[in-house]
Structure 1
Amino acid sequence: MLIRRLVKAIWICLILGLVPQAMAEDSSVLLVANPDVDSRQLTRDTTRALFAMRQRTWPGGQAARVFVLPNSHPVHARFVKQHLSVYPHQLQLAWDRVVFSGTGQAPNRVRNQSEMLEQIASTPGALGYLEREYLDDRVQVVSIE
């Protein structure tokens, strides 16, 4: 009886999207930047503005170069949902809007996380995201408030 209740509670949590924080941490995708970036922390609103291509500079004024994985990539979907609180198609609509209105450009796309790491490490002002296993000392983690 107890096991049934526990299984039922877990299913309810999964259906409602209430994943315990400890589980979410294991599968989290981290915001990363080129080491020359002075910002070590961003608000969720600033992060969302940077990835939506509405904000083109870091809070300190340095030009931001945003890198993303393809919309269909599972890591892209996890990052966008966890940290920006939007769906990938909503972010794509924001990019399309700035491109077609002539007010901006879409972010730089990379094929995989290895390429993401290389681009962020070698591009001044670069911003992107990686799973923990791809991190090394060539990039810095930026926390999101």
Structure 2
Amino acid sequence: MRLIIASVLFLLAVAAVSAAETADYVVITHQENPVSTISAQDAKNVFLGKRTTWPDGQSITVFVQEQTAANESFTRGVVKKTPQQFFTYWRKALFSGTGTPPKSLPDDQTMKRFVASNPLAIGYILPESLDETVKSLEIR
């Protein structure tokens, strides 16, 4: 009986961890961008300005969101920083001359509009905001 209870508790714990790891964001790009997957490390590097070109050599245009639920989830999930740490990272890069922060947008709708109008763009939105105007990138 104890083995059954322990097994059930273990399965519930695994399910809770899996649910907690479900992304509350979708990384998006232009519909015509040939890229359909991006590694977690490459995504992090793109948003930290450490990777600046697509595989074909064209410059990546990075967009981020202001203080939104998508921003909170994305910066913690992909960049592995709090939103404040991410802001501080870019502020230091700007003042030291080592980088220019990505353009910050107020919400999902504005993000989709900017990404849909720029074939080299990348950004993120909440999953429920995803539609045919942009393409989601699978993070592997």
TM class by shorter-chain length?
0.7 to 0.9
Decide which of 132, 135, 138 is 1:140's aligned counterpart.
135
Alpha-carbon distance in 2 for matches of 1:19, 1:59: 37
- In structure 1, the partner of 2:90 is 95
Number of matched pairs: 129
1:125 and 2:120 matched: yes
Alpha-carbon distance in 2 for matches of 1:57, 1:142: 16
Alpha-carbon distance in 1 for matches of 2:92, 2:32: 30
Unpaired segments ≥5 residues, structure 1: 1-8
Offset of 1:99 from its aligned partner? 1.1
Alpha-carbon distance in 1 for matches of 2:73, 2:16: 13
Cα contact 2:48–2:79 (8 A) shared by 1: no
Once the two structures are superposed, residues 16-74 of structure 1 have per-residue CA deviations (whole angstroms, 9 ceiling, x without a partner) of xx94424653x62111111232221111111111111222112332211111111x322
> Root-mean-square deviation (CA), in Å?
2.2
Report sequence identity in percent: 25
* AA partner of residue 123 (structure 1): N
Decide which of 20, 29, 35 is 2:31's aligned counterpart.
35
Alpha-carbon distance in 2 for matches of 1:28, 1:19: 15
SS across alignment from 2:72: helix
Decide which of 105, 111, 114 is 1:116's aligned counterpart.
111
* AA partner of residue 60 (structure 2): A
* AA partner of residue 95 (structure 2): F
Decide which of 70, 75, 78 is 1:80's aligned counterpart.
75
